[in-house]
């Protein structure tokens, strides 16, 4: 019986806004069509957070409230809140800070973590380390992005991809070997030129020119990112399997970042997994950046069984990428 402390996922919360942006809606805004979008990406619609004064923290709050309800705790029981996002409410204070205040999580400290589409995996490993250290017993890890706030709705190559949402997990100590068991996480700054938001930071502070040049929007060279993503996500997932002595038959679920169905299929193929073992909700939410993986867990939670080996896998801006092995504990 293992005595080592691991970080088990003991509750899941999720939130997507009600407003939908369908492929038919996009056909009216840019030159595109439903057939192209579905066949190239697998996306049918996305959710958009609308309303004056609404920000990423407004996605985080309902997801965390739901998680607390599921576990029968209150926000005051949370010790640390980590928010993975590239669309924070503001540069500072952090979105975690704002969300704690809105939640009434008076006993928590927290911070934001920026690793784009891999943000949730980076945050999950960080949160798990806090639990494994023995110092914390209730850490909440959230992936949340209001992508609609940085999307150029005149750029058909990006606006068809992204949506808004948030997913959250509660981590608690476990001594039976369940929870986050292993991670391989990677970064390569050479990828920065293919996927970024140029202005607004200390390199190019906001000016009239940066606004006029549309430099406050996400820019992606889709084909270049695609080539790296297909190889990167598949390789790291396979490496994680090998390192843990797992065969395809030992894995219950692949939980892939939802950027493009073709990238997901390539990863599943490399791992030898049939489609029935792959969590997929890209059709209804699109790419919600840091939120895709916890939103998949949220959608599929009823199908998870104690002891299931689950591989979470992501690739995104930075470049950042990685894979995490979780043994489901309840
Ligand atoms: O989550 C972060 C990481 N991001 C990713 O993993 C995304 C990776 N990239 C992709 O998923 C794909 O590259 C895209 C979905 C973004 C684009 O798909 P693609 O198959 O790589 O298309 P493409 O860029 O090679 O464009 C093919 C054609 C072009 O026309 P021509 O030059 O062949 O005449 C584009 O102009 O499709 C055209 N096109 C469109 N047509 C209709 C580009 N966007 C659209 C559009 N509707 N929205």
Each domain of the chain, given as residue ranges in start order, spans 6-177, 181-281+290-327
Compute the distance from residue 18 Cα to the ligand 1 centre, in Å.
27
pLDDT at 330: 84
pLDDT at 164: 98
Compute the distance from residue 223 Cα to the ligand 1 centre, in Å.
7
Q: Which of 80, 97, 287, 296 is catalytic?
A: 287
Positions of the chain with pLDDT under 50? none
* pLDDT tens per residue, range 90-130: 999 999 999 999 999 999 999 999 999 999 999 999 999 99
Q: Do 6-177 and 181-281+290-327 share a fold? A: yes
pLDDT at 3: 79
Asked about 159 being catalytic, the answer comes back as no
* pLDDT tens per residue, range 64-94: 999 999 999 999 999 999 999 999 999 999 9
Question: For domain 181-281+290-327, is the CATH number 3.40.930.10?
Answer: no
Nearest CA to ligand 1 atom 47: 32
Among all chains, which residue has been given the structure tokens 């504990």? 329
Q: Which residues sit opposite 312 in a β-bridge? A: 255, 324
Q: What is the reported pTM?
A: 0.97
Q: Ligand 1 within 6 A of 74 CB?
A: no
- Residue pair 320/118 in contact (Cβ under 8 Å)? The answer is yes
Which of 62, 79, 78, 150 minimizes the C-alpha distance to 114? 150
Q: Ligand 1 within 6 A of 104 CB?
A: no
Question: For domain 6-177, is the CATH number 3.40.47.10?
Answer: yes
pLDDT at 1: 58
3-class DSSP state for residue 57? Answer: helix
Asked about 309 being catalytic, the answer comes back as no
Compute the distance from residue 157 Cα to the ligand 1 centre, in Å.
6
Asked about 260 being catalytic, the answer comes back as no
Q: Across the chain, which distance is largest between two alpha carbons, in Å?
A: 62
Q: Ligand 1 within 6 A of 316 CB?
A: yes
């Amino acid at each position: 019986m293992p005595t080592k402390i691991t970080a088990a996922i003991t509750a899941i919360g999720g939130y997507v806004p009600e407003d939908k942006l369908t492929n038919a809606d996009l056909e009216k805004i840019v030159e595109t069509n439903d057939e192209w979008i579905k066949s190239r990406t697998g996306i049918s619609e996305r959710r958009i957070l609308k309303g004056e004064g609404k920000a990423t923290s407004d996605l985080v709050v309902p997801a965390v409230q739901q998680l607390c309800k599921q576990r029968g705790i209150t926000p005051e029981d949370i010790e640390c809140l980590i928010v993975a996002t590239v669309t924070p409410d503001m540069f500072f204070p952090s979105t975690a800070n704002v969300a704690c205040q809105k939640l009434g999580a008076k006993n928590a400290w927290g911070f934001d973590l920026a690793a784009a589409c891999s943000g949730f995996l980076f945050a999950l490993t960080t949160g798990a380390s806090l639990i494994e250290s023995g110092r914390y017993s209730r850490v909440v890890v959230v992936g949340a992005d209001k992508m609609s706030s940085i999307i150029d709705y005149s750029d058909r190559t990006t606006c068809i991809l992204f949506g808004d949402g948030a997913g959250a997990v509660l981590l608690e100590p476990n001594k039976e070997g369940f929870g986050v068991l292993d991670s391989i996480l990677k970064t390569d700054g050479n990828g920065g030129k293919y996927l970024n938001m140029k202005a607004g930071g200390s390199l190019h502070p906001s000016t009239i020119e940066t606004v006029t040049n549309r430099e406050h929007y996400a820019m992606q060279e889709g084909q270049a990112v695609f080539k790296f993503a297909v190889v990167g996500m598949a390789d790291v997932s396979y490496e994680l399997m090998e390192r843990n002595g797992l065969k395809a038959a030992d894995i219950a679920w692949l939980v892939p970042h939802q950027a493009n169905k073709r990238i997901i299929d390539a990863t599943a193929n490399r791992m030898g997994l049939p489609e029935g073992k792959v969590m997929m909700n890209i059709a209804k939410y699109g790419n919600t950046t840091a939120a895709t993986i916890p939103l998949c867990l949220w959608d599929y939670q009823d199908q998870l069984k104690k002891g299931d080996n689950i591989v979470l896998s992501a690739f995104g801006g930075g470049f950042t990428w990685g894979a995490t092995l979780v043994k489901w504990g309840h």
